[in-house]
Amino acid sequence: MTNKEKITKIRELAKEKNAVILAHNYQLPEIYDIADFIGDSLELSRKAANTNADVIVFCGVHFMAETAAILSPSKTVLLPDLEAGCSLADSITADQLKMWKSEHPDAVVVMYVNTSADVKALADYCCTSSNAINIVESIPADKEILFGPDMFLGAYVSKRTNRKMHIWPGECHVHAQFRNDHLVNLQKKHPNAELILHPECGCISQCLYMMSDGQLSNAKILSTSGMIAEVKSSESDEFIIGTEIGIIERMKREEPNKKYIPLKEDAICKYMKKINLDNVLLALQNMQHEISIPEDIRKQALLSIERMITIK
């Protein structure tokens, strides 16, 4: 079957089964072509909560499909490849979080959405890259905060909110590799380019320092969809992109006349790339692989996720 035939078949099956196809911004271009909606973690969670479809095919990674299953228990949530995991979500387990909480019994727990359902069930709040600052700001100033699992996002949020937090030492294997020298070298080569960075980047603290010092006047720190909105609305026509490089294809589609320079050319999330037309087709044909969450965990995790999707 050609890709064109696979796309036609997938769309036919989606219609027949009343399925909605949700795709993260890091997905392959052919997945954009079959998606009903493409977005960042927060947007995809909101879509999963509000859809009328019977089936959600999640073209993203495991924790995202779990979040959809927590929000929509009456729907069938399918992840086309169970190996689409996340190194950041794997950096904290429920047992580790239980232990951490026992050391700080009065603390409010804020967990990034890149965590398992078991971890979310132990959290007070979930957050994403686009609302982490607002969530932390909504917590009374006298409360101790445990923030995890991404240490770079944690450092960024702590600095921006001027709030001391206990931060879990987790990281994403793709974003942790971004270093300041990548940035300095590229800026020399492209002095007029606007820099847009994801807050999971390993160089985030250094960038914040350079921004406050006036050395980085043309830089923004944004979620993946925030980055897409920025390239569309900005007057710049050249951008250095500090995140997984799959997003550049999306930017080219949305804003084809601008130039995009990856901060690191090999910044590829192998988990996001597990999803392809073949396994999406199989997912719809065989209704596989269904993601379901035990009801007690689902109910506990739902509270923290609902807080996340209601705060901008």
Residue 13: CB minimum distance to ligand SF4, A: 26
Q: Which amino acid is at 63?
A: F
Out of 10, 23, 40, 145, name the contact with ligand 13P by CB under 6 A: 40
- Tell me: does residue 114 bind ligand SF4 (CB under 6 A): yes
Tokens of 178: 């971004």
- Tell me: does residue 309 bind ligand SF4 (CB under 6 A): no
Helix (H) or strand (E) holding 284: helix 277-286
Ramachandran angles phi, psi of 150, nearest 5°: -90, 120
Instruction: Report whether 255 contacts 236 (CB < 8 A).
Output: no
**CA atoms within a 13 Å half-sphere pointing along the CA-CB vector of 300:** 13
216 vs 275, beta carbon nearer ligand SF4: 275
Residue positions counted in the chain: 312
- Tell me: does residue 223 bind ligand 13P (CB under 6 A): yes
> Interface residues for ligand 13P in 189-208 (CB under 6 A)?
200
Residue 216: CB minimum distance to ligand SF4, A: 23
Instruction: Report whether 21 contacts 12 (CB < 8 A).
Output: no
Bridge partners of 59, per DSSP, are 23
DSSP 151-170: HHHHHHHHHHHT---EE--B
Out of 7, 23, 41, 283, name the contact with ligand 13P by CB under 6 A: 41
Which stretches does DSSP call E strand in 216-278?
Answer: 219-221, 238-242, 259-262
Per partner kind, with CB cut-offs from 5 to 8 A, the member of ligand SF4, ligand 13P, none near residue 247 is none
> Interface residues for ligand SF4 in 225-244 (CB under 6 A)?
244
- Tell me: does residue 65 bind ligand SF4 (CB under 6 A): no
Per partner kind, with CB cut-offs from 5 to 8 A, the member of ligand 13P, ligand SF4, none near residue 300 is none
Out of 70, 86, 126, 216, name the contact with ligand SF4 by CB under 6 A: 86
Q: Which residues lie near ligand 13P (CB under 6 A)?
A: 25, 40-41, 114, 128-129, 172, 200, 223-224
